[in-house]
Amino acid sequence: MANYATSQFKNGLKLMLDGNPCSIVNNEIVKPGKGQAFNRVKFKDLITGKSLIKTFKSGESLEGADVMELDMQYLYNDGSAWNFMDPETFEQYAIDDDAMDDARGYLVEQDMCTVILWNDNPISITPPNHVILEVVDTDPGLKGDTAGTGGKPATMNTGVVVQVPLFISIGEQVKVDTRTNEYAGRS
Amino acid sequence: MIHALMNMREDLKKYSDFLQKIRHFFSQQNVIEVQTPALLNAPTTDVYIDSISLSVNQDIYPKTQYLHTSPELEMKKLLTQGSGDIYQICQVYRDNEFGERNFNEFTMLEYYRLGFDIHQLIDDVSSLLVDLGIKDEVVKLSYAQVFAQFSDIDILNANFDDLRTIAQAHGLSTEFDWIEDLQIMLFVHLIEPKLKQLPVCFIYDYPSTQAALAKVKGQVAHRFELYLSGVEVANGYDELQSSESYQRVFKVENDRRRHLGKSVLELDLDFLKQLENSLPQCSGVAIGINRLISQIS
């Protein structure tokens, strides 16, 4: 992979930092009244999802990260891995359970997800913003309103638990916002 | 379209009022406005500031001139000749400036007060800020204090190796030729982001390694910088006075430029000659007008 000097830094550039691929979130050039120029850079670690800030002397360079973002279709889970397909090349990728994070609760077969590949290995999966899930368990009607919130917990077919309105019952399909884990309407 | 024109007029009026307030502030204190040449025979020797050069008189007597990067030396020439308290508002020009807040051309307010030490000048800059509408609490911290408060680094006593170890622990570069560059990087990385929470903060008494053209007493140089919500806006010194002290600084700066493979520059001999009379004791400050106004509106 090519090296990138600080003068080439821009938002979205993917670089290797401490062995992990990271994406530049913000690049601030700081030139003190007396003294040399520095780049204070905010990164997102693409593996851990954490953000971190580093400061570089102007002219320092970092190795680029071979990172690609692809839209892929979720196919099925075979018990040991989650299988995706690139609809353009029909190439299939098996993704280990530990790369899944919170995404596993929102994967519906046939849905398109964003998959980040690093050195051709999937490192992160982002499900669509909204998915349709089926309620497999929830207390019937008002009885579930133990917190007095006007809502009740419901377990979905994917295992994720979402707060739903009291009128929702087992077997119904509901729309869930995957970014906030919130109920977003009946399907 | 008409709306846009109105906004333009309003913006210009706002800027013009702002300059008027600055001029009013100085005229009340008998500080007089001066203009000095922007086109100079000698470039700045500052290691990390580059002059923009241009060729003039191509058809008759070609020579290279340099746009001033600050009116400092020209104003000091006036001070040695008995100008008394003076200020200037002018455009200055710097090469190799790039970024959100760094430009090749910007507006500088530079002023000198005879008999002031840096603390008197800090008080004076504070009253200017009040006149310009910045009425937040003024925080004054020494360079050593900000490092003690926002990190656990004893910046005045930490040696080059100590600082390298700290930089390494933060995953930062340790390849520096001079300790002050490492001090500055740690300041940029650890301290400056914390200053965002302070609307008006003066930092004073810099390590002697960062003295530039300020007087040194013991471990510290009598310098200050003003940060408005984390943005560096002004840089002030208790100014060096003798010709020898300036020659010494210029020589060190030129040696460093040579070391970095930058052009080695001719000294402003005219300036050094004038200084044979010595500069009167004074403190001076340069204020970035564009950054200042962006912190007000």
The ipTM, to two decimals, is 0.84
pLDDT the model gives residue B1: 52
Among candidate residues B10, B25, B8, the one with its CA nearest the CA of residue B287: B25
How high is the mean pLDDT of chain A?
89
The SS3 call for residue B124 is helix
A33 vs B contacts (CB less than 8 Å):
225, 232, 235, 286
pLDDT the model gives residue A72: 94
Q: Do B48 and A56 touch (CB under 8 A)?
A: no
Minimum Cα–Cα distance from A53: chain B residue: B189
pTM: 0.83
B252 in contact with A, Cβ within 8 Å: no
A18 vs B contacts (CB less than 8 Å):
171
What residues does A177 pair with on adjacent strands? A130, A182
Cross-chain CB nearest to B188 (options A33, A34, A55): A55
| C-alpha distances in Å from residue B105, one per residue of A38, B52, B102, B108, B289 | 20, 10, 9, 10, 12
pLDDT the model gives residue B3: 65
- Chain center to CA of B118: 14
pLDDT the model gives residue A146: 59
Q: For the segment B49-102, what is each residue's pLDDT rounded down to a tens digit?
A: 999 999 999 999 999 999 999 999 999 999 999 999 999 999 999 998 888 888
What is the spatial distance between Cα A149 and Cα A128, in angstroms, rounded to a whole number?
Answer: 28
Q: For the segment A18-75, what is each residue's pLDDT rounded down to a tens digit?
A: 899 999 999 999 988 778 899 999 999 998 889 999 999 988 999 999 999 899 999 9
What is the spatial distance between Cα B67 and Cα B45, in angstroms, rounded to a whole number?
Answer: 13
Task: State the DSSP H helix or E strand holding residue A162, giving kind and residue range, or none if neither.
Answer: strand A161-165
Q: Which of A20, A26, A31 to mutate to test the interface with B (most CBs of B within 10 A)?
A: A31
pLDDT in tens, chain B (297 residues): 566 667 889 989 999 999 999 999 999 999 999 999 999 999 998 899 999 999 999 999 999 999 999 999 999 999 999 999 999 999 999 998 888 888 999 999 999 999 999 999 999 999 999 999 999 999 999 999 999 999 999 999 999 999 999 999 999 999 999 999 999 999 999 999 999 999 999 999 999 999 999 999 999 999 999 999 999 999 999 999 999 999 999 999 999 999 988 888 778 888 888 888 889 999 999 999 999 999 886
Q: Do A36 and B184 touch (CB under 8 A)?
A: yes
Size of interface A-B (CB pairs under 8 A): 66
Task: State the DSSP H helix or E strand holding residue B67, giving kind and residue range, or none if neither.
Answer: strand B63-67
Q: For the segment A136-148, what is each residue's pLDDT rounded down to a tens digit?
A: 999 887 665 555 6
For B168, counting Cβ atoms within 10 Å of its Cβ (0-12 exposed, 13-18 middle, 19+ buried), the class is: exposed
Tell me the HSE value of A131 on the side-chain side, using a 13 A CA sphere: 27
The DSSP bridge pattern shows strands A3-5 and A61-63 to be antiparallel
